[in-house]
Amino acid sequence: MTANWKNRTLWTGDNLDIMRGMNSHSVDLIYLDPPFNSNRDYAAPIGSQAAGAAFKDTWALSDVDEAWHGEIADREPALYAIIDAAGLAHGKGMKSYLIMMAVRLMEMHRILKPTGSVYLHCDPTASHYLKMLMDAVFGPGRFRNELSWRRSNPKSHGKKNFPNCRDIIFRFTKTEDCTFNQVFGEHNPEYVRTAYKYREPDGRRYRLLPLLNPNNDRPNLTYEFLGITRVWRWTRKRMEQAYQDGIVVQLKPGAVPQYKKYLDESKGRTITNDWRDIEQAAGNEYIDYPTQKPLALLDRIIRVSSNPGDMILDPFCGCATALVAADRLQRQWVGIDLSSLAAKLVNKRLRDDAAGKDAGSGKLFFEIHHRTDIPARTDLGPLPDYRTHKHTLYGRQEGLCNGCRVMFPFRNMTIDHIIPQSRGGGDHLKNLQLLCGACNSTKGTGTQEELIARLKAQGLRN
């Protein structure tokens, strides 16, 4: 399905409302770096480029819409059970944070293409619960990696704890058939010096590696070569040819032969799940945005899990690290952030980057589409008139109003859009409920959460 927005779109608004308006299967890669439930609020230093940027990371049940909890219970019972268990074990703050995350992860799963991947950046505060949420949303077998990114400046966690110097990034894919371009790092010079210690007369470096087969039960590969009988990795023919070519050597008579692996044929250092080679943003790159991530980190993620032309989404884009990295790698991108200041910084950063990082003087060679509206999905096809669902809803709610929970006759019920149409809510069944006339007029164009709060204040609901 194609995206119902243009390349280089930057939205200012709540990512939940905006993602709900995005077409299904329209994004190749999602990187999200949400608040970590750190129990603190962030602000950029006064006088810095990002001055004024702030976001909160303290959570209470009043921060989350009660309708989200209901939606999770209806659509994803496993997710609901995990959140409830976390609430019991860890308290209401964690529960609220996880509800906020869960409804967004459900949308991310929907909008991701079958070959797509999600990288969820977090830290140990909530990583254990977030992984369970991801397992529930993406399904068994979709967890791919827990990446550790070692920060150069550890975060202090009080006087009686070891400071944390490791962020966690979960990689999940939508299906088995995911985009994955293996990347390699530069070899460490010390490793090159010790491992590739031999040189050809022309200076070419190589190391010697064993030729023994780990499987002892290979009779066709068991033979005598240069006076040594072993189970070899190669056939006799290949071994003899390699010996003639000077690739196989015996360092002294009686020694087990080995083969030469040349440094210039090595693809580089294997990148494992332990990322220690990426420094935090510094120098010109650092614009003081609270929790700004380094471009090199996003460069690696985007290279591995997307191809040129693919669509990258960062729903918590902050000062646009992922968007700048995506642009540099010729990917399409869309970013969302609540803060309107983030939009200004994104514009400036991309402008500077397009002009060769010459801060302030840049001309942008392309247009950034800055939007604040809620998109309308174009992949749903014509939906039946929502009023045709009234009987289904009456049966589903067993005759009870979803506001005051009182039973009403069918004719006294009215159909309500749970997420109001003005906030991107559609006419599909999942977004509809029955309310009695009084509850419907109390809700008006507000949210379900506001309705429940009003009913509670009036003593009409527990």
Ligand X SMILES: C[S@@+](CC[C@H](N)C(=O)[O-])C[C@H]1O[C@@H](n2cnc3c(N)ncnc32)[C@H](O)[C@@H]1O
Binding site for ligand X (CB under 6 A): 14-15, 33-35, 55, 289, 291-293, 316, 318-319, 321, 336-339, 342
Any long-range contacts for 82-88 (C-beta under 8 Å, 24+ apart)? Answer: 82/129, 82/132, 82/133, 82/136, 83/133, 86/129, 86/132
In the complex with ligand X, the residue whose CB is nearer, 336 or 435, is 336
- If we measure between CA atoms, which residue out of 155, 89, 116, 88 comes closest to residue 31? 116
Going by C-beta distance under 8 Å and a sequence separation of 6 or more, which residues neighbour residue 272?
none
Q: Residue 17 Cβ, how far from ligand X at the closest point, in Å?
A: 9
Q: Residue 55 Cβ, how far from ligand X at the closest point, in Å?
A: 4
Q: Residue 427 Cβ, how far from ligand X at the closest point, in Å?
A: 24
In the complex with ligand X, the residue whose CB is nearer, 8 or 293, is 293
In the complex with ligand X, the residue whose CB is nearer, 118 or 239, is 118
Q: Residue 59 Cβ, how far from ligand X at the closest point, in Å?
A: 11
In the complex with ligand X, the residue whose CB is nearer, 248 or 324, is 324
In the complex with ligand X, the residue whose CB is nearer, 323 or 432, is 323
Q: Residue 406 Cβ, how far from ligand X at the closest point, in Å?
A: 34
Maximum C-alpha span of the chain: 98
Q: Residue 377 Cβ, how far from ligand X at the closest point, in Å?
A: 19
Q: Residue 183 Cβ, how far from ligand X at the closest point, in Å?
A: 20
Residue nearest ligand X, CB atom distance: 318
In the complex with ligand X, the residue whose CB is nearer, 316 or 333, is 316
Q: How far apart are CA 54 and CA 320, in angstroms?
A: 15
Report helix, strand or coil for 300: helix
In the complex with ligand X, the residue whose CB is nearer, 59 or 172, is 59
Handedness of CA 81, 86, 92, 95 (dihedral sign): negative
Give exposure, 60-94, as e/b (b: 16+ Cβ within 10 Å).
Answer: eeeebbbbbbbbbeeebeebbebbeebbeebeebb
Q: How far apart are CA 13 and CA 21, in angstroms?
A: 12
- Measured CA to CA in angstroms, residue 228 lies from 16, 247, 256, 446 at distances of 67, 17, 7, 83
In the complex with ligand X, the residue whose CB is nearer, 86 or 103, is 103
- Contact predicate 228/256, CB 8 Å: yes
In the complex with ligand X, the residue whose CB is nearer, 403 or 425, is 425
Q: Residue 137 Cβ, how far from ligand X at the closest point, in Å?
A: 17
Q: Residue 52 Cβ, how far from ligand X at the closest point, in Å?
A: 12
- Contact predicate 102/86, CB 8 Å: no
Give exposure, 216-238, as e/b (b: 16+ Cβ within 10 Å).
Answer: eeeeebeeebeeeebbbbbeeee
3-state helix, strand, coil in the chain (%, to 5): 35, 25, 40
In the complex with ligand X, the residue whose CB is nearer, 125 or 321, is 321
Q: How far apart are CA 117 and CA 110, in angstroms?
A: 12
Q: How far apart are CA 220 and CA 225, in angstroms?
A: 13
Q: Residue 370 Cβ, how far from ligand X at the closest point, in Å?
A: 14
